[in-house]
Amino acid sequence: MADPHVPHPDLPPPASAIGALGWLRRNLFSSPFNVALTVLALYLLLTLIPPLLRWALLDATWSGDNREACAANRGACWIFIRVHLDQFLYGFYPEAQRWRINTVVLLLLLGAAPLFIRTVPAKLKPRLGLGLLLVYPIIAIVLLKGGVFGLVAVDTSSWGGLLLTLVIAGVGMTAALPLGVLLALGRRSDMPAIQTLCVTFIEFWRGVPLITVLFMSSVMLPLFLPAGMNFDKLLRALIGVSLFQAAYMAEVVRGGLQAIPKGQFEAAAALGLGYWKSMLLIVLPQALKLVIPGIVNTFIALFKDTSLVLIIGLFDLMNIVHNATTNPEWLGFSTEGYVFAAAVYWLFCFGISRYSQNLEKRLHTGHKH
Amino acid sequence: MSEPSPTSAPLSDQVMIDMQGVHKWYGTFHVLKDINLTVRKGERIVICGPSGSGKSTTIRCINHLEAYQRGRIMVDSQALTNDIKQIERIRREVGMVFQHFNLFPHLTVLENCTLAPIWVRKLPRQAAAEIAMRYLQRVKIPEQANKYPGQLSGGQQQRVAIARSLCMNPKIMLFDEPTSALDPEMIKEVLDTMVALAEDGMTMICVTHEMGFAKTVAHRVIFMDGGEIIEQNAPALFFSQPESERTKLFLSQILHH
């Protein structure tokens, strides 16, 4: 009998292909063009970063409570932000009532936390999520608006700052996703009436700019409503934003639905599952997972688009920062203001983006269509 | 492969599937032409024929994955109409195994098996899981219950697909080329599963090119071409004395390659 085959032992890869050296070679110096790019990038970083650091940190003024304190330093005047911080966060919400906003945020964090903790049983999560979705908005509205249970009524016109940005973005996201899913399903429906309705809706809302929608909702809509009937400006903006984003969401979701192989629909049907069950249990979980990047993209765009409500006189984070820079006592600090606003927007958008990447990784089951 | 003695066992007189004068068109293309087929309880039928001959379409009409335009189909004494409730009622009794398995990739093997019993048959989760484990045992992969389909081989996936159908406790099983997408070394494990199912007396219609399976398991072999049933006979006669020229040509092509 011949000797059994002995496989050749594994050799280590050449030193230049692994470790830090290998990484540098592969990613930064793989071709003359890449070498040029790397050098150029290094040069830009070296010229940009030190002045930026000096302005934002080293030469910046941190303590004090008036603009005179900033006069000595050439760097950023962060006192401007500190003095206005409450306004940036809470808008014109009465100071004595701000605990209500804090409570609403705290409740959201407490309510949502179990959904993100892995040790909470997976079976409980859908129930918790649904409960949060149904109960939380009511509590939030009662607390924020007041007027019942002895809470002082706070008109939505005095909501503002980050609070308003979060309200518009939160409502927009939670309304746009389910609405978008329904519109996407409707657009693929076999029933011509439903299909036409959904296509018309989607194409209409996608065809007009959000600014126009907001403008129409605040200027035109009252013209069509009977005299004396007037509903909240914020509510109109919320409806406008939700419908607008739902149209975009619908197209994102439709992309996912189209990527699901026909066999999945057939297997679900062959098992006797009806339309809604096969959609909810088989098709949508897969389709939504496929389009997480698209959904998150829409969410991030929505978050930033909330700043457009300044056009109808709502003071969201962007507008309230802008407003503070025009304060005669604090003229000349618009850079600090906008840098702060940008940093807050970036923080939220980056957070959304990172969470979605994590979600994609966790939902991956080793199957690619 | 074990040798059941299909032709000798007496068949019940109860008709499970009755197709009468079924016609189907895709637009102007006439795909099924006057299909008449009666299947009795416990009967095992193999349908073969060249591609595009309407074999798959025929069995897909039985659970209404394909609509038909003329004729009449009765499944388990219920008329297959266009009423969606009636269609769903019939689909509960008819299991189907697809060429490409069509397992649900976002669910584990066990969840694939318990989904329909829980949501369609309204079984409690626990009971559904017990039934699923029994059938996974029967297709010899209980140890894969908590894996995802993407982690299994093709043969294992197809066996899960069979178990998934069986969990609904169907009266009829339809197989649509169940081994065509498999690597050669995996075909046997799937065929063995189907043979075992046959031994239990399941009513089966199987579209396949596995002539060995047809010879040992089928009561009747049907040859289709151009949307018509050309010839049908007991396997022994079908293979030894085919009547039509088209059948002879087909058999010579698939048996001597």
In sequence order, what E strands does B58-133 have? Answer: 70-75, 78-79, 94-97
CA distances from B53 to B57, B209, B222, B229, B232 (A): 9, 13, 12, 9, 15
Does the structure show a pLDDT above 70 at A1?
A: no
Domain boundaries, chain A: 94-153, 160-363
CA distance B175 to chain A (A): 12
How many Cα atoms sit within 13 Å of A332 on the Cβ side? 11
Q: What is the mean pLDDT of residues A23-43?
A: 87
User: Which of B98, B105, B164 is opposite residue A367, by nearest beta carbon?
Assistant: B105
User: Which of B91, B103, B150 is opposite residue A270, by nearest beta carbon?
Assistant: B91
Choose between A2 and B241: higher pLDDT: B241
Q: Does B103 touch chain A (CB under 8 A)?
A: yes
CA distance A295 to chain B (A): 19
List of chain A residues whose C-beta atoms are within 8 Å of the C-beta of residue B164 = 271
Displacement of CA A281 from its chain's centroid (Å): 26
Architecture, CATH, for domain A160-363: Orthogonal Bundle (1.10)
Cβ B158 vs Cβ B96: under 8 Å: no
Q: What is the mean pLDDT of residues A325-340?
A: 81
Q: Return the bridge partners of B172, or none.
A: B94, B203
Q: What is the mean pLDDT of residues B47-62?
A: 92
Cβ A158 vs Cβ A314: under 8 Å: no
Q: What is the mean pLDDT of residues A252-274?
A: 93
Nearest CA in chain A to B151: A366
CA distance B244 to chain A (A): 34
Q: What is the mean pLDDT of residues B214-227?
A: 92
Choose between A87 and B223: higher pLDDT: B223
Q: Number of A:B CB contacts under 8 A?
A: 76
Nearest CA in chain B to A287: B106
Long-range CB contacts for residues A133-137, cutoff 8 Å, separation at least 24: A133/A174, A136/A107, A136/A108, A136/A111, A137/A174
How many Cα atoms sit within 13 Å of A5 on the Cβ side? 2
Lowest mean pLDDT among A1-10, A225-234, B178-187: A225-234
Q: What is the mean pLDDT of residues B127-131?
A: 93
User: Which of B84, B89, B168 is opposite residue A271, by nearest beta carbon?
Assistant: B168
Q: Does B148 touch chain A (CB under 8 A)?
A: yes
CA distances from A285 to A345, A363, B76 (A): 30, 10, 34
Does the structure show a pLDDT above 60 at B7?
A: no
Choose between A65 and A281: higher pLDDT: A281
d(CA B252, CA B257): 8
Residue A121's identity, in one-letter code, is P
Nearest CA in chain A to B86: A272
Percent of chain B at pLDDT exceeding 70: 95
Residue B187's identity, in one-letter code, is I
Nearest to residue A234, comparing CAs of A322, A138, A170, A324?
A170
pLDDT tens sequence across A135-188: 888 888 878 777 777 777 777 777 888 888 988 998 899 899 999 999 999 999
Handedness of CA A143, A128, A170, A362 (dihedral sign): positive
pLDDT band at residue B2, thresholds of 50, 70 and 90? very low
Residue A75 class from Cβ within 10 Å (0-12 exposed, 13-18 middle, 19+ buried)?
middle
* pLDDT the model gives residue A61: 75
Does the structure show a pLDDT above 80 at B140?
A: yes
**Identity of the highest mean pLDDT range in A28-37, A110-119, B57-66:** B57-66
User: Which of B89, B100, B116 is opposite residue A263, by nearest beta carbon?
Assistant: B100
* pLDDT the model gives residue B61: 93
Nearest CA in chain B to A366: B150
List of chain A residues whose C-beta atoms are within 8 Å of the C-beta of residue B103 = 267
Nearest CA in chain A to B175: A270
CA distance A288 to chain B (A): 11
Nearest CA in chain A to B164: A271
3-state secondary structure of A135: helix
pLDDT band at residue A77, thresholds of 50, 70 and 90? confident
d(CA B39, CA B229): 14
Name the average pLDDT for chain A: 84
CA angle centred on A268, ends A267 and A273, rounded to 5°: 145
pLDDT band at residue B73, thresholds of 50, 70 and 90? very high
Between chains, do B96 and A277 touch, taking CB under 8 Å as contact?
Answer: no
Does the structure show a pLDDT above 80 at A229?
A: no
CA distance A189 to chain B (A): 15
CA distance A177 to chain B (A): 20
d(CA A112, CA A126): 12
* pLDDT the model gives residue B5: 46
Phi, psi dihedrals of residue B36, rounded to the nearest 5°: -120, 120
Q: Does B26 touch chain A (CB under 8 A)?
A: no
* pLDDT the model gives residue B3: 45
Q: What is the mean pLDDT of residues B179-189?
A: 88
Name the average pLDDT for chain B: 89
Q: Quote the DSSP letter at residue A327.
A: -
Please compute Rg for chain B using Cα positions: 18
pLDDT band at residue A30, thresholds of 50, 70 and 90? confident
How many Cα atoms sit within 13 Å of A264 on the Cβ side? 21
Percent of chain A at pLDDT exceeding 90: 24
d(CA A364, CA B148): 10
Pairing label, strands B203-207, B44-48: parallel
Query: pTM for the complete prediction?
Result: 0.82
* pLDDT the model gives residue A202: 92
pLDDT tens sequence across B147-156: 999 999 999 9
Does the structure show a pLDDT above 60 at B49?
A: yes
* pLDDT the model gives residue A266: 94
Q: If you search the block for the tokens 């982690």, which residue do you land on?
A: B151
Which are the contacts of B57, defined by CB distance < 8 A and separation ≥ 6? B24, B31, B32, B66, B227
Percent of chain A at pLDDT exceeding 70: 96
Does the structure show a pLDDT above 60 at A367?
A: no
* Helix H or strand E encompassing A106: helix A98-116
List of chain B residues whose C-beta atoms are within 8 Å of the C-beta of residue A274 = 84, 88
